[in-house]
Amino acid sequence: MIDAPQITQTVSQLTANLHLTVQRAEISNVMGPGLSEVRAAIAAQGIAAAGPWFTHHLKMDPDIFDFEICVPITTRFTATGRVELGRWPPTTVARTVYHGAYEGLGSAWGEFDRWIAAGGYTPRPDLVECYVVGPESGADASGWRTQLNRPLVD
């Protein structure tokens, strides 16, 4: 289930990010360790996350996930290992919130993309999933919330 979508403007945001390109079947094997790597890199420099973590999927390919694991921060940090400093520019996005387990994200994106097309909007090839509430909150996936963002062509 998704909330009523809306069009909104994001603000500029510093991030610590890790770029990965993996086979689709490998995503569950790299996501947790990748997030831990980003969190450890910023913690080592005394920097805390400034909000929920998210993934930026650079392009959609049925077999390959080419994406960045991102943690928002408010202070610049020195790149370390594979973790780099990034900055999100202000962007116009279509946005909704999906309620449920991660296995349902594909269907949620399908519903959301149909709303975008029906509204006459033109999406860019990338997308963002922000993990507002997830497994760390408990095993009942009905309480999980994933914000879906599709940047739009101006």
Does a structural domain hold residue 68? yes
- Residue whose structure tokens are 């760390």: 136
**Does residue 29 form part of some domain?**
yes
Q: Which residue has the higher pLDDT, 61 or 67?
A: 67
In a domain, 1, yes or no: no
93 domain-assigned: yes
The CATH number linked to 43 is: 3.20.80.10
- Residue 139 maps to a domain: yes
Q: pLDDT tens digit string along 74-100?
A: 999 999 999 999 999 999 999 999 999
Q: What is the pLDDT of residue 1?
A: 86
Q: Is the pLDDT of residue 60 over 80?
A: no
Q: Is residue 34 part of a domain?
A: yes
| Boundaries of domain holding 86 | 6-151
Structure tokens at 77: 């940090």
The verdict on residue 20 lying in a domain is: yes
Cα 98–chain centre separation: 13
- Is pLDDT above 80 for 22? yes
Task: Report the domain count for the chain.
Answer: 1
Query: What is the tens place of the pLDDT at every residue in 108-141?
Result: 999 999 999 999 999 999 999 999 998 888 888 8
**Entry pTM:** 0.93
Q: Do the domain assignments include residue 41?
A: yes
Q: Which two tokens stand for residue 26?
A: 């490998």
Within its chain, how far is the Cα of 19 from the centroid?
Answer: 12
